[in-house]
Amino acid sequence: MSGPRPVVLSGPSGAGKSTLMKRLMKEHEGIFGFSVSHTTRNPRPGEENGKDYHYTTREVMQDGIDNGDFIENAEFSGNLYGTSKAAIQDVIDKNLMCILDVDIQGVRRIKETELNPIYISIQPPSMDVLEKRLRDRQTETEESLQKRLEAARIDMELSSEPGVFDVVIINDDLERAYEELRDLLSDEIQKVKEVKS
């Protein structure tokens, strides 16, 4: 895949990935494109098909996975999630920098492909802070919260292994974390601007 280098953003739920990503896309409008993932879960209130996710059935998605149409996929809480090659190519074809928001399993799978992204992990300062953030959202049952916390513990451990990520950003201060992310991507942002001008 030619064009700007994609960015793989990873980190546990509640680490602040979405907040940082939305801000980056707002500040650099027309530079980034978000790779819209597929999922078999039902939309939450306010979510739109094709914008938040491509909502699909397990059968259709499993066929796509079996045919090699997905660069990565995982199962979480009984639902499939994945990134299709077509979703990434759609973004790259628009001369945009593709942002992929994937879990640690997804990072490992992408490392086995020819995609050459910048791997960035967004991590919370501690498990306590993460648990508070997730509880404050009030979107989880206690059972699903515990699953997310367990997944976060594993994610935090694996993200500290050498060579998994190009950079690990600890989101203990949103401003500082955002500046670190923006500075890290400034060269690639510049390349997209040059192609567009």
For residue 2, name the pLDDT band (cuts at 50, 70, 90).
low
The 3-state DSSP class for residue 70 equals: strand
The torsion angles phi and psi of 129, rounded to 5 degrees, stand at: -65, -45
Residues labelled as active-site residues: 44, 137, 148
Residue 3 has pLDDT above 80, yes or no: no
Q: How many residues does the chain have?
A: 197
Residue 21 corresponds to which tokens in the numbers above? Answer: 């990503």
Per the listing, tokens 């995982």 go with 74
Can you tell me the distance from the alpha carbon of 140 to that of 142, in angstroms, rounded to the nearest whole number?
A: 6
pLDDT band per the 50, 70, 90 thresholds, residue 1: very low
Q: Does 41 map to a domain?
A: yes
CA distance 111 to 6: 13
Kindly state whether residue 168 falls inside one of the protein's structural domains: yes
Alpha-carbon 115 to chain mean position: 15
Enclosing domain of residue 52? 7-192
Q: Which two tokens stand for residue 133?
A: 């953030």
Write out the DSSP string of 118-178: EEEEEE-S-HHHHHHHHHHHT-S-HHHHHHHHHHHHHHHHHHTSTTS-SEEEE-SSHHHHH
Query: In the chain, how many domains are there?
Result: 1
Q: Residue 98: which of 4, 10, 195, 192 has the closest Cα?
A: 4
Q: Does residue 197 fall inside a structural domain?
A: no
What is the model's pLDDT at position 58? 97
Would you say residue 95 lies in a domain?
A: yes
Q: Is residue 1 part of a domain?
A: no
- Express each pLDDT in 96-140 by its tens digit: 999 998 888 889 889 988 888 999 999 999 999 999 988 888 888
Position 2 in a domain:
no
Residue 107 belongs to domain with CATH number: 3.40.50.300
Per-residue model confidence as pLDDT tens digits over 5-57: 899 999 998 899 989 999 999 999 999 988 899 999 999 899 999 988 999 99
Q: Cα separation of 195 and 151, whole Å?
A: 39
Domain-located, residue 88: yes
